[in-house]
Amino acid sequence: MKDVWKERENAFEDRYIYELEKKQLAEKKARQHEEQVNELSKNRCPKCGASLEATTFHGVPLDQCPACKGVWLGPNDFKILASKDHRTWFDIWFNEQEQEE
């Protein structure tokens, strides 16, 4: 009788360990996938996927896409631009873009 209960106890323990390892493996795969996606998309244009080029505009570091001409700001870059006279930098930026075309 003890053997049956011991086998049942071992079966529950094995099942618990299996489920725990399965969960840990799924979490590890998800974490690795997220890291891989971040690595592959690092410094890439979110619109077209081309490599971004770092530029400076009136002392503010920007990332610009050479393919679609998109401009991407960092977290503090917009605050820096907003603190300046917005009409001045906005007009200059778009006038430069029109002259290049």
In a domain, 22, yes or no: yes
Domain count, the chain: 2
Give the CA angle between residues 51, 56, 62 to the nearest 5°.
50
In a domain, 34, yes or no: yes
In a domain, 47, yes or no: no
Q: Indicate the pLDDT class of residue 21, thresholds 50, 70 and 90.
A: very high
Q: Could you tell me the residue range of the domain that residue 77 belongs to? A: 53-100
- The pair phi, psi for residue 32, each rounded to 5°, is -65, -40
Q: What is the pLDDT, as a whole number, of residue 89?
A: 63
Q: Residues 34, 59: one domain?
A: no
Amino acid letter, residue 66: P
Q: Residues 36, 62: one domain?
A: no
Q: Residues 70, 91: one domain?
A: yes
pTM: 0.47
- The pair phi, psi for residue 64, each rounded to 5°, is -120, 140
Q: Residues 38, 66: one domain?
A: no
Q: What is the pLDDT, as a whole number, of residue 83?
A: 73
Computed over every residue of the chain, the mean pLDDT equals: 82
The conformation of residue 47, written as its DSSP 8-state character, comes to T
